[in-house]
Chains A and B, each alone.
Chain A
Amino acid sequence: MSTEVSNVEELAIKDYKYGFQTEIETDVIPKGLSEETVRAISLKKDEPEWMLEWRLKAFRHWLTITKENEPAWANISYPEVDFQDIIYYAAPKQKISLNSLDEVDPELLKTFEKLGISLQEQKRLTGVAVDAVFDSVSVTTTFKAELSKLGIIFCSMSEAVQEHPDLVKKYIGSVVPYTDNFYAALNSAVFSDGSFCYIPKGVRCPMELSTYFRINTSGTGQFERTLLIADEGGYVSYLEGCTAPMRDENQLHAAVVELVALDDATIKYSTVQNWYPGNSEGLGGIYNFVTKRGACRGKNSKITWTQVETGSAITWKYPSCILQGDNSVGEFYSVAVTNNRQQADTGTKMIHLGKNTRSTIVSKGISAGKSNNSYRGLVRVHKKAENARNFTQCDSLLIGDKCGAHTFPYIEVANKSAKVEHEATTSKIGEDQLFYLRQRGIAMEDAINMIVNGYCKDVFRELPMEFAVEAQKLLSISLEGSVG
């Protein structure tokens, strides 16, 4: 209850509060993309041969699909991205291996403190283990020792390639192959770092795992790769947060996230995406083109995606579930807020392959200013997927008469025992509700926030407490100035 009230108080914050840049020495591979760039990244990370080979295969594939095949079907528009004008690798200069947090550049620690992410384990009150990714590389991972007692591996992707090559080899690209799409191919070739997590059989991860992404260096693209595996009976709740400095230029973020849930395993993946959205005129901001997919490989497995998307100039992402295992469950809960000139085209895919698979989609889109917000989703029931069930609820709320709200659901059913229900509504924010709140003394903007927060309740409920509070604050901030 108090969270709602406090978010209203937070309204004093007018601007993007994460817009600062950290002055830190960085190690950068010059702009441009070629086979040399890919080799250079791999060399920097001292990768084994197989990893480099995989990258090169992806890169060669990417070359065959450039330009014309850059996805164009989404309901978004943006100037052509010049892939030669991007820095593909930028890392804070620091010692190669860190023995303790004391060796991390204090500037970096400060940056994360400023973002509200403390990397000092003793300072963390709640049990959240953090992997902090700064530009292209993982800076540090907290609580590693404690987690490793349970056999849980939680580290940066670079480290996993060195330390756990078998696991990485087995699973990387197994959910999102590099042939999947344009950006997945690009990411596979040049991914710099990201988080890796493995939950062993029967282990319930006792704390929230979290990755915090920060783009700092100007002109860089961020291409992180996250791989998360929950072995039989495992459970993990994973959080992801992102911010970037304010800049006039557009920066590209093209991540790949792969989740694998084996028999009886559960993965909850929550994202609060707050990349810099650009200014009110649409100048600057992050292009957030992300491929996220989870495979419910085992029977009775479950993957839940929860996302709160308030940032980025353009968001293009569809966290999906492949429901292979019998009785597996996929869930997608999303709040996407667009204001000013932001564009979002987001949703999910639920691919029902196994028997008795179930999926739930709850999407809340809020458009304000001159923004455009689209839900795009696919529910596919394959011929062999007996007794599949899907329920989809897609609601759009419009604030102001210059924005757009769109719904593009695709439903493909090839099994007669399937039951698929889809409901969608689009409406204006309720005049009666606004008047009611204002009659009780609440100002217009606060009243809007209250109503919007209430509207998104079904999604916030799915977030871990800490994140829910953060999400609600973000919502108010991103709706700033949405009323004339």
Chain B
Amino acid sequence: MLTVKDLYVRVEDKEILKGINLQVNRGEVHAIMGPNGSGKSTLANVIAGKEGYEITGGEVTLDGKDLLDMLPEERAREGVFLAFQYPVEIPGVSNASFLKTALNEIRKHKGLEELDAMHFLKFMKEKMKMVGIDDNLINRPVNQGFSGGEKKRNEIFQLQMLQPTLAVLDETDSGLDIDALKVVSHGVNLFRNKDNAVVVVTHYQRLLNYIVPDFVHVLVSGRIVKSGGKELALELEDKGYDWVTNTVPAAETV
């Protein structure tokens, strides 16, 4: 479904991604792990279409469609969802009205009928129950005054609401205590099915105990230096990132 081919990305004068290749198929969960500054978040942002990144080479496609050529909202309507590391606060805009607009835009794009207020409300209530989010958060302005945990939970709630085909979770575990982590993971696990895919971007293995990946990729200095199954994450946790950086210098020079 998602194909990243030989992707090179610069920010100002600095090369951040240096030839990323990644194939994600339906029904799969991929974890991208790496130390701070390795380019993990850059990859997530580039997929979603954030400004400020210069693509110097390569391509990113979703079901064969060129994502890099699309506006951020077009990518979202095509099914790309980014769960933000730091969800922004938007004063005065209620969560519910924001989601109704977003959902209907996506439905319109898919040729579905827009949901009216009543049907939307019903649909939302279901999802709220599913993710365990309460009324209070729904009626408040988007992310405003939310705790770190509430913000992340709100991201997962939106994931459930919008039902994308590709969910990219950017450091969704950061700043969460163990209980919040379980709730968030539960939401993601409810979401995953044979028709969609999840890319989990994380620094720590911890999250992967709850969202079990099919593939693990290790990103160091803008390159994927090692790929493997879920056991790779445990090995990393055990030996630290130095282990990959030290064992695969040869690969880097190729």
The reply on A100 being an interface residue by CB < 8 A is no
* Complex-state Cα separation, A447 to B93, whole angstroms: 10
Cβ-based interface call for A408 (8 A) = no
B71 located at the interface, meaning its Cβ lies under 8 Å from any Cβ of chain A in the complex? yes
Question: What are 18 contact pairs spanning A and B, CB under 8 A?
Answer: A1-B117, A4-B94, A4-B101, A5-B100, A433-B88, A435-B88, A437-B102, A438-B72, A439-B80, A441-B162, A442-B102, A446-B105, A447-B73, A451-B90, A454-B91, A454-B92, A454-B93, A457-B91
Task: Contact check, B105 vs A430: say whether CB atoms are below 8 A apart.
Answer: no
CB-based contact A1/B51 at 8 Å:
no
Contact among A1, A433, A447 for B97, CB-based, below 8 A: A1
Residue of B49, B93, B109, B162 near A4 (CB, 8 A) is B93
* Residues of B in contact with A, size category: 35 or more
Chain B residues proximal to chain A, CB less than 8 Å: 48-51, 71-73, 75-77, 80-82, 84, 87-88, 90-94, 96-106, 109, 117, 139, 141-142, 158, 162
Q: How far is the CA of A431 from the CA of B158 in the complex (A)?
A: 20
Closest A residue to B88 by beta carbon equals A432
Q: How far is the CA of A454 from the CA of B92 in the complex (A)?
A: 3
Q: Is the CB of A4 within 8 A of B97?
A: yes
Binary contact readout A41-60 vs B (1 if CB under 8 angstroms, 0 otherwise): 00000000000000000000
Tally of chain A residues near chain B (CB < 8 A): 29
A435 to B109, CA, bound (A): 19
Binary contact track A285-328/B, C-beta < 8 Å → 1, others 0: 00000000000000000000000000000000000000000000
Bound-state CA distance A454–B89 (Å) is: 11
- Tell whether, in the assembled complex, residue A450 and residue B71 are in contact, meaning their CB atoms are under 8 Å apart: no
Q: A431-B51, A441-B109, A451-B90 are in contact. Are A2 and B73 (CB under 8 A)?
A: no
Chain A hits for B105, CB < 8 A: 441-443, 446
> When the two chains form their complex, are residues A440 and B92 in contact, meaning their CB atoms are under 8 A apart?
no
Question: Which residues from chain A contact B91 at a C-beta distance below 8 Å?
Answer: 454-455, 457
A265 to B213 Cα, complex, angstroms: 68
Instruction: Say what secondary structure dominates the interface of chain B.
Output: helix
Contacts between chains A and B (CB distance < 8 A), count = 103
Starting from the known contacts A439-B73, A439-B76, 11 additional A-B residue pairs (CB-CB under 8 Å) come to A1-B117, A4-B101, A5-B101, A5-B117, A8-B101, A433-B88, A436-B87, A436-B88, A440-B99, A442-B105, A450-B101
Using a CB–CB cutoff of 8 Å, the interface residues on chain A facing chain B are 1-2, 4-5, 8, 430-433, 435-444, 446-447, 450-451, 453-458
Nearest B residue (CB) for A435: B50
Collect the chain A residues with CB atoms within 8 Å of residue B162's CB.
440-441
Select A456's contact among B92, B98, B142, beta carbons within 8 Å.
B92
Known: A435-B51, A440-B98, A441-B162. A455 touches B109 (CB 8 A): no
Choose from A8, A433, A442 the contact partner of B73 (Cβ within 8 Å). Answer: A442
Please indicate the chain B residues that have their CB under 8 angstroms from the CB of A457 in the complex: 91-92, 141
CB < 8 Å: which of B94, B109, B117, B158 contacts A440?
Answer: B158
CB distance from B51 to the nearest CB of A (A): 7
